[in-house]
Amino acid sequence: MTPRSQTRPPSFEAWNAALGTVAGRIGSRGFPDALASALGLLAPFQMMNGFVYSPDGHAFDLYNEKIVVERSIIVDRYLGGTFVLDPFYDAVRGDGSQRMIVMRELAPDDFRQTEYYRLHYVTTQIVDEIGFVMKLEDDFCAVLSLSRTGGAELFADEELQRLRAAAPVVCALGERHWFQLPSLALAAAPRPSKRIEHPLLTRRELEIVTLILKGHSNLSLAALLSLSPNTVKVHRRQIYSKLNISSQAELFRLFLA
């Protein structure tokens, strides 16, 4: 699927006026709506939501007040542990610097074949997603996502360029509004960190399980781990045998259901 059309850029006056409204609502409940309206001038989208990640592997709500599907599908399950399979989570764990990230540029080669994709994206009908990475207090970082859903087209290249060009100011405004959220999140809802672990599996096998669940094919696994594709296949067979399973769906349920 490829983008087929794009919106026209807003006038300089309209964009400045929208940014002025956003800046004026920092610290108030009206900030997210103002920010969504401003970003909609650059590229329309159906949903804006986001999550906060701690440096030691926790996930919390950033903004999920106006999601377009049932909260249990896109938020509760995610915070319950599936966030560890999110390409955005992997990206910010490696680099929490201010920037815009694009799901289709980060996702592993077999991402669309994973249980995570089926449960999180197919169920919610998200067809395209971009995120703004923000640095918050105590080395926490957050990703505020814009998603297109249902029958919407992918973000066009020109729209991605506009959103990426706006990322520095979007991230700066978001950081000013949400900077102290980690303190509030930890006080309100402490959570255990989520790790892929099992007493029957070796460290290497657990590494392979994690990469399988994230959507890496055997070829991608081999390249990442500097192994031959045949060695990866052997590891995969041994893992399934040890766990007495025969599919990735079972693997997902065993570790993350």
The pLDDT score that the predictor gives to residue 5 is 53
Which of 191, 210, 213 is closest to 59 using CA atoms?
191
CA distances, 77 to each of 88, 117, 148, 162, 217 (Å) = 16, 13, 20, 32, 24
The pLDDT score that the predictor gives to residue 192 is 60
Predicted TM-score of the model (pTM): 0.90
The pLDDT score that the predictor gives to residue 1 is 43
The pLDDT score that the predictor gives to residue 60 is 92
| Contact yes or no for 101/130 (Cβ under 8 A) | yes
| Contact yes or no for 85/219 (Cβ under 8 A) | no
pLDDT tens-place values along the chain, 257 residues long: 444 556 789 999 999 999 999 999 999 999 999 999 999 999 999 999 999 999 988 899 999 998 877 788 889 889 988 999 999 999 999 898 999 999 999 999 999 999 999 988 998 899 999 999 999 999 999 999 999 999 999 999 999 999 999 999 999 999 999 999 988 776 666 566 677 889 999 999 999 999 999 999 999 999 999 999 999 999 999 999 999 999 999 999 998 86
| Contact yes or no for 169/19 (Cβ under 8 A) | yes
Question: Residue type at 183?
Answer: S
Greatest Cα pair distance in the chain? 63
Name beta bridge partners: 99: 133
CA distances, 133 to each of 51, 182, 220 (Å) = 10, 15, 26
Round to whole Å and give the CA distance between 166 and 175: 14
| Tokens read off for 98 | 């201010």
The pLDDT score that the predictor gives to residue 247 is 92
Using DSSP, state whether 1 is helix, strand or coil.
Answer: coil
The pLDDT score that the predictor gives to residue 6 is 63
The pLDDT score that the predictor gives to residue 2 is 44
Write the DSSP string, 13-56.
HHHHHHHHHHHHTTTSTTHHHHHHHHHHHHS--SEEEEEEE-TT
| Tokens read off for 106 | 């980060």
The pLDDT score that the predictor gives to residue 119 is 87
| Contact yes or no for 39/45 (Cβ under 8 A) | yes
| Contact yes or no for 142/181 (Cβ under 8 A) | yes
Residue with tokens 């169920």: 123
**What residue spans define the domains of the chain?**
12-188, 203-256
Using DSSP, state whether 143 is helix, strand or coil.
Answer: strand
CATH 1.10.10.10, applies to 203-256:
yes
CATH of domain 12-188: 3.30.450.80
